[in-house]
Amino acid sequence: MSKGKELATSANDSVLAALQESYPVEQGGNRIILPRLGMVSQDQVEGKGKKMKVVTEAGTFYTDKPTGEEDPDTGKKIYKKTELGSEIEGVILYQRKQLKMYDSKTEMYTSSPVYDNDDEIVPIFCNKEEVKRGTPKELQANYEYTDENTGKVRSKLEVNRILYVEFNGEIYQMQLRGSSMFSFLNYTRKVLVPSVLTTFSSESKEKGKIVWNQMSFTPKRKLGQKEVEEVLQKIGEIKRAVDLERAQYSKDTIEGEVVSDQAFKNY
């Protein structure tokens, strides 16, 4: 028996089969707005030279919740960030995708709505205006370049993973990109993630002069029968919300930004 299947033996087979069917590998939809759960990938500092100090260490998890207030100048919602420490525990309920790119020259972001199917037609937005529309691969092809170090053709328009995570009784949205995203994808090959309580932590990585913390995922324990039934109920609620957004999506009434630009920088 594989490690992943061993972890999913606390609940009965019929409930786990329903959970396996409900947990999406690839599906479709658009926009669900939730408070954010994230991790700082590099030390955040203040000041310069001898006065520079680390205010938030790499590997620190945090929540980012709307306060209900808006910035009077920009009209954007104001969020309150709360640091949680270097390790947290939660249940990963659902995963989706989003295209995102930051242009350091123009300091502008290009992003798609959250989606699920690779054959789905999605738009991408820059500065709140639609730029192009097509399948994710078609859109990525417009931003291809050749990596000088490897010679491989890559795209500046990244595919990020968007996770819906139950943490401390609330559902949060978490964005993953880069090495943290691949760490998560490797985790999903071993574990039916909605069937376990996951420990989120990180490990230090280094490539040349770049140092960062990569998110790590470890199964803490198997969920019991009642817990899995509750997870199924929450997934059902999410899927119904996705269906509603899909209907909105088809009417071209969507907006471009889903995950904050600041959250994009933190991975």
Give the pLDDT of residue 32. 65
Share of residues in the chain with pLDDT > 90 (%): 52
Give the pLDDT of residue 232. 93
- Which of 24, 20, 62, 85 minimizes the C-alpha distance to 260? 62
Q: Is the pLDDT of residue 80 over 50?
A: yes
Cα distance between residue 18 and residue 15, in whole Å: 5
CA angle (184 as vertex; 180, 185 as ends), nearest 5:
120
Give the pLDDT of residue 36. 93
Q: Is 108 helix (H, G, I), strand (E, B) or coil?
A: strand
Mean pLDDT value of segment 103-125: 88
- Regarding predicted confidence, which is higher, 265 or 236? 236
pLDDT in tens, 163-198: 999 999 999 999 999 999 999 999 999 999 999 999
Cα distance between residue 128 and residue 198, in whole Å: 36
Domain extent, residue 247, equals 3-265
Could you give the C-alpha distances from 107 to 95, 117, 145, 159, in angstroms and in order?
28, 29, 19, 19
Provide the pLDDT confidence category of residue 122 given band limits of 50, 70 and 90: confident
Give the pLDDT of residue 21. 57
- Regarding predicted confidence, which is higher, 127 or 192? 192
Mean pLDDT value of segment 1-10: 47
Cα distance between residue 34 and residue 25, in whole Å: 20
For 186, residues 6+ apart whose C-beta sits below 8 A from its C-beta are none
Tally of domains within the chain: 1
Among 21-25, 71-75, 173-177, 217-221, where is mean pLDDT lowest? 21-25
Q: Is the pTM above the cut of 0.75?
A: yes
Cα distance between residue 100 and residue 53, in whole Å: 30
Q: Is the pLDDT of residue 3 over 50?
A: no
Q: Is the pLDDT of residue 59 over 80?
A: yes
- Regarding predicted confidence, which is higher, 193 or 67? 193
Give the pLDDT of residue 202. 97
